[in-house]
Structure 1
Amino acid sequence: MNALLLKWNQVSLVKRIFVGIIIGSILALAFPNATGFTIFGSLFVSALKAVAPVLVLLLVMTAISQHKKGHQTNMKSIIALYGLSTFLAGLTAVIASFIFPVSLSLVAGAGDLSPPDGIVEVLKSLLFKVVDNPVNALMNANYIGILAWALLLGIALRSANDSTKIMLTNFSDAVSHIVKWVINLAPLGIMGLVYDSITANGLSSLLDYGKLLLVLIGCMLFMALVVNPVIVYLKIRRNPYPLVLYCLKESGITAFFTRSSAANIPVNMSLCEKLELDKDTYSVSIPLGATINMAGAAVTISVLTLAAVHTVGIEVDFGTALILSILSAVAAAGASGVAGGSLLLIPLACSIFGISNDVAIQVVGVGFIIGVLQDSFETALNSSSDLLFTATAEYAEKRKEARNS
């Protein structure tokens, strides 16, 4: 048995995940009522979500406390890449919605949601997350608050003695080791997630919204396979696709099935380590990216809002739609972590076109119907690009250093 487990663990994680996908699909078709299989998926996602806040706090705090003056972290470059990608995602979605206008058959079903009243409320919520109680931030996976406390504690601990810093490093390494144990369970967890997705949702409910899904998924694939590679090429000046495809394969697949950027933080951290990236940088950029790098959310907000605009017959000029792409980028970054994700921001975006909240909430209901695919592709784009841009910034810096030497 030990020899079998050893051979299994020597197979690449992606191949093992594909085995989990196939087994989950077969079980869903053969035993659609055997709900016990779903527990594997729930346990896997819960384990990732449980370890991620502690991992982020310890890694960031340790990295900052041991940071040496003059050491390059590339954070400015990474944040600029996050912002550019999110804005271009909103712009891509606006252009696609003008070329392929979609009208909706509106439905009820989102009446209990409480979307933000305006962009001021979104930014106010963001500020209050920064000053959240650290224990509360950890309990509720408030990554903005966790990052803020980790940065402050890290700065305060820079003057601590070496034994304290060694202890922090040991705790950080221990949690990282636990993360590796959890990630090794990904094939079993994804088997359960696939089983749950097929048996609970099916695909028949999505057929009525085929055109909307094509526009949404088409925009996200265009971002992942065209726009992001162009951004990466302009930074590193070499073929971007080996890195792009690696990030999509290694990070995007797990994010697709977990449907949680927070749950994928440990996966991305582990991949950064495999790519031998600077720990001082990725320990901050990966959890930050899970909070503000929201290209997929910008696509969702823009496409569904303009679908509502076309449905009610409002004439919109491209300039107003361009404002939507800017608003969707800012709102997506500022309201991450709000229950309902990007869908809750649709009423806010609809308000700039004078669309009533009653209609906007029905559009949110449509979003939940197609969420089984929309949210999966959105998370895969968001999370894989966290890894992509962190690696891109470091490779660009190394290229610059090599050119100057």
Structure 2
Amino acid sequence: MKVLKNMSLIKRIILGIIIGIFLGIVVPNWEFIGILGELFVGALKSIAPILVFVLIMASISKHQSGVQTFVKPIIVLYLLATLLAAVTAVVASFLFPVQIVLQEAAGSQDAPKALVDVIGNILTSVVQNPIQGMIDGNYLSILFWSALIGFGLRTCSKETKDVIDNLSEAVTRVVQLVIGLAPIGILGLVFNSVSSTGVSGLGQYGQLLALLVGTMLFVALIIYPILVFLLIHENPYPLIFFCLKESAIPAFFTRSSAANIPINMMLAERLELSEESYSISLPLGATINMGGAAITISTMTLVTVHTLGMDIQPFVALILCVLSALAACGASGIAGGSLLLIPLACSLFGISNDVAMQVVGVGFIIGVVQDSVETAVNSSSDLLFTAVAEFSSLKKKGAKLNIKKLVKEKGMKPTKSID
């Protein structure tokens, strides 16, 4: 126990992964182990909306005029990165065309028929009842109402603001407790994946999976670093690897950007980022920073096009990039949420909904790996762009920042947890 206590959280998580793989191979019938993973993800999903609501309300209520926030440049980065991911996926699909044998989708799924449906759903979600929004994990509603209530509290007494601030600290401590249990939870999640028989079905879709995962890794390790370098004018990889190690690994196994919000907030605190910024940008990123989803939508659509032997004009491919990026921003925060937007992109080429839903069925088969990598790319880049926007703005104002040294120091600092 002393050894475990002195280990960093990420090392304990790696240990949990190893034990989970071992148990999944040796005792795959011990289903009670998998319940640990379900409890962990359920706890994160439950506390995350409360944390976001309280943090935003507290930070806005005590915000003083003249204090800089970095939300605008972060949003621009989110949207630009999602578009670049879609463009990369389209180029990769033309360079490495893949065809698949379409199978019947398991059951019918409801999918949006047009982009206006996606935009309409987003706008409707914003004004949803905030209590229902917290129950459903609707972060657009949570952001909207918590911000309004925060503005309303700015005229209240200092004592009232202190109560809200204390409530925020209390919820944060609960989150620290849940995150401290991450190694046990991820052990259960890994056990479920290894002991699942669904993994055997991945073989026949090896080329498709390699194209999807390869594109996502290229975006995370080449495209995003170039974007980061252009902003901070430093070697981007120390910050990139920090985000991948600390944020992408938990996101890979939870397969939910929403569930990874509390972890990203703890990491943003470690990097000493502005709470006024990250309390808004991180939950917003879980909704609109969807580079991995844009890759999935673009790639799966073009795989369908290649399978059907259709010719594509460059102009139509460009429209697909924009459509995929916009649709990805409306992707659900749940596992496999981006797959249901494939029929929308397929409609651009006149592909019938029946054929598109067969492709969605294929997506769910490979989702064990595809959705995990997609979530890891999405969630870790939420933290990455939040940090980059703030560091870039501070540098422009003349602040002397050695980001490599900063990340190295913060990387050595353990994530807060309650022993």
Bin the TM-score by the shorter chain.
over 0.9
The answer to whether residue 60 in structure 2 is matched with residue 61 in structure 1 is no
Which residue of 321, 334, 357 maps to 1:361? 357
The answer to whether residue 375 in structure 2 is matched with residue 373 in structure 1 is no
Aligned-pair CA distance for 1:201: 3.9
- Aligned equivalents of 1:304, 1:283: Cα separation in 2: 33
Contact 1:74 1:394 survives alignment (8 Å): yes
DSSP 3-state at the match of 1:203: helix
- After superposition, residues 206-285 of structure 1 pair within 5 angstroms as 206-285=202-281
Which shows bigger deviation, 166-175 or 197-206? 197-206
- Aligned equivalents of 2:159, 2:358: Cα separation in 1: 57
Which residue of 260, 279, 286 maps to 2:282? 286
- Aligned equivalents of 2:141, 2:352: Cα separation in 1: 33
Contact 1:292 1:336 survives alignment (8 Å): no
Aligned-pair CA distance for 1:403: 6.4
- After superposition, residues 5-404 of structure 1 pair within 5 angstroms as 6-201=2-197, 203-337=199-333, 340-402=336-398
Contact 1:305 1:350 survives alignment (8 Å): yes
Contact 1:213 1:374 survives alignment (8 Å): yes
DSSP 3-state at the match of 2:174: helix
User: CA distance change for structure 1 residues 339 and 30 in 2, over 3 Å: closer, same or farther?
Assistant: closer
Contact 1:110 1:361 survives alignment (8 Å): no
Which shows bigger deviation, 202-211 or 118-127? 202-211
User: CA distance change for structure 1 residues 396 and 339 in 2, over 3 Å: closer, same or farther?
Assistant: closer
- Aligned equivalents of 2:295, 2:337: Cα separation in 1: 13
- Aligned equivalents of 2:29, 2:104: Cα separation in 1: 28
Aligned-pair CA distance for 1:306: 0.3
Residue correspondences, number? 400
- Aligned equivalents of 1:259, 1:338: Cα separation in 2: 8
Cα shift readout 1:120-175 (whole Å, capped 9, x = no counterpart): 01000001100101111011110000000011101111111101110011010111
- Aligned equivalents of 1:398, 1:339: Cα separation in 2: 36
User: CA distance change for structure 1 residues 126 and 338 in 2, over 3 Å: closer, same or farther?
Assistant: farther
Contact 1:111 1:361 survives alignment (8 Å): no
Aligned-pair CA distance for 1:339: 7.7
Which shows bigger deviation, 333-342 or 134-143? 333-342
Contact 1:125 1:335 survives alignment (8 Å): no
Aligned-pair CA distance for 1:29: 0.7
Which AA in structure 1 matches 2:44?
A: L
Aligned-pair CA distance for 1:338: 7.0
Which AA in structure 1 matches 2:166?
A: N
Aligned-pair CA distance for 1:340: 4.2
- Aligned equivalents of 1:275, 1:388: Cα separation in 2: 11
Which AA in structure 1 matches 2:220?
A: A
Aligned-pair CA distance for 1:401: 1.3
Which AA in structure 2 matches 1:98?
A: F
User: CA distance change for structure 1 residues 202 and 357 in 2, over 3 Å: closer, same or farther?
Assistant: closer
- Aligned equivalents of 2:399, 2:287: Cα separation in 1: 34
- Aligned equivalents of 1:316, 1:260: Cα separation in 2: 33
- Aligned equivalents of 1:112, 1:171: Cα separation in 2: 44
User: CA distance change for structure 1 residues 257 and 403 in 2, over 3 Å: closer, same or farther?
Assistant: closer
- Aligned equivalents of 1:26, 1:334: Cα separation in 2: 38
DSSP 3-state at the match of 1:109: coil
- Aligned equivalents of 1:72, 1:336: Cα separation in 2: 31
User: CA distance change for structure 1 residues 300 and 159 in 2, over 3 Å: closer, same or farther?
Assistant: same
- Aligned equivalents of 1:14, 1:45: Cα separation in 2: 17
- Aligned equivalents of 1:15, 1:116: Cα separation in 2: 42
Contact 2:106 2:361 survives alignment (8 Å): yes
- Aligned equivalents of 1:391, 1:335: Cα separation in 2: 24
Contact 2:49 2:142 survives alignment (8 Å): yes
- Aligned equivalents of 1:311, 1:397: Cα separation in 2: 46
- Aligned equivalents of 2:34, 2:55: Cα separation in 1: 32
- Aligned equivalents of 2:107, 2:299: Cα separation in 1: 21
Which shows bigger deviation, 26-35 or 101-110? 101-110
Aligned-pair CA distance for 1:54: 0.1
- Aligned equivalents of 1:221, 1:389: Cα separation in 2: 17
Contact 2:252 2:372 survives alignment (8 Å): yes
TM-score, normalised relative to structure 2: 0.94
Contact 2:83 2:325 survives alignment (8 Å): yes
TM-score, normalised relative to structure 1: 0.97
- Aligned equivalents of 2:6, 2:231: Cα separation in 1: 34
DSSP 3-state at the match of 1:45: helix
Cα shift readout 1:191-242 (whole Å, capped 9, x = no counterpart): 0000001111453211111110111001100111001111111110100000
Identity of aligned residues (%): 56
Aligned-pair CA distance for 1:112: 1.9
Which AA in structure 1 matches 2:31?
A: T
